[in-house]
Amino acid sequence: MRRMGTRVADGVEAFLAHLAVERGSAANTLRSYTTDLDRYRAHLQERGIDDLAAVTEADVTDFVAALRSGEAPLAASSAARALAAVRGLHRFATRDGLVPKDVARAVTPPALPRRLPRTLTVDQVEQLLAGCVGDGPTALRDRALLELLYSTGARISEAVGLDLDDLDPGSRTVLLRGKGGKQRIVPVGRPALAAVDAYLVRARPGLATAGRGTPALLLNARGARLSRQSAWHALRAAADTAGLDPTAVSPHTLRHCFATHLMAGGADVRVVQELLGHASVTTTQVYTHVTVDALREVYATAHPRALGTGRTGRTGHR
């Protein structure tokens, strides 16, 4: 047994009390932390460690590795959550003078699997756009919004941030203001321009009369700039009307569709990067994985040897 100081069990108890009393953590959070720290105590006990000050960085690292192996390994996300609890414990113990050094600070969580963005097929996008039915002002506005999102790959915040002067129908482009105030000029397709024109002629003037005069392109019923939340509700309402699964639609859905459909159509990844306003091409390359999945599906159905059951197609070459 290593030198005794603050017992691990006492440190854990003090930390959980701190979370409950001083931080006011939710009951679910406390239960999760208790479960994860119980695992941690068991791990240290197996190593003969009962002194919090005797724990080393290697002990914490091995704990994370142990969670990811064995007969019932945890998912990377669950192991990362457990490490967060352990790091919280050691940070608390260091701050309160229970141990001289935070040995868990430099331990990194396991890499989480990269989730591919959810996208819709081209037909599903058409179905979604058709969900904006009616000739009323809000229906025309919502159709213009959705058409712009899909045509330009704009974030919802960028779309609702558009002013009238940002759209140039003559050159068929729009000026988008992205993260960090960065601006980019993006082409706009003819269907989107037609939807915006219908909105500007038949809907916006009426909506504007309720407001105090704003340069915003997209207005709400009070004549003010449309909010991100209202735009999000418009997207969900269109999906519901179109009969699409609402869980398959998010604020970024049409942005993801824009990128994925461009890549599937042969667009260069760096062009898509510029259109999306990504600072690094690495961020954009996630869409190449989506495209590879599509290519793999075509290969599996078209190549005679793709599944290992077709006849060998000999061409005479060796």
Which structure tokens are listed for 116?
A: 């591919």
Query: Active site includes 40?
Result: no
What are the distances in angstroms from CA 80 to CA 67, 110, 121, 282, 316? Answer: 10, 6, 34, 23, 55
What is the C-alpha to C-alpha distance for residues 29 and 14, in angstroms, rounded to an integer? 16
**Contact status, residue 221 vs residue 207, Cβ threshold 8 Å:** yes
* Catalytically annotated residue among 155, 177, 225, 256: 155
Query: Active site includes 233?
Result: no
* Catalytically annotated residue among 18, 118, 236, 252: 252
What are the distances in angstroms from CA 148 to CA 190, 191, 199? Answer: 10, 9, 12
Query: Active site includes 155?
Result: yes
What is the C-alpha to C-alpha distance for residues 59 and 69, in angstroms, rounded to an integer? 15
Q: What one-character DSSP code corresponds to residue 183?
A: E
* Catalytically annotated residue among 95, 105, 179, 270: 179
Which structure tokens are listed for 59?
A: 């002990």
Query: Active site includes 184?
Result: no
What are the distances in angstroms from CA 70 to CA 64, 73, 311? Answer: 12, 6, 43
Query: Active site includes 278?
Result: yes
What is the C-alpha to C-alpha distance for residues 286 and 269, in angstroms, rounded to an integer? 10
Query: Active site includes 261?
Result: no
Residue numbers annotated as active site:
155, 179, 252, 255, 278, 287
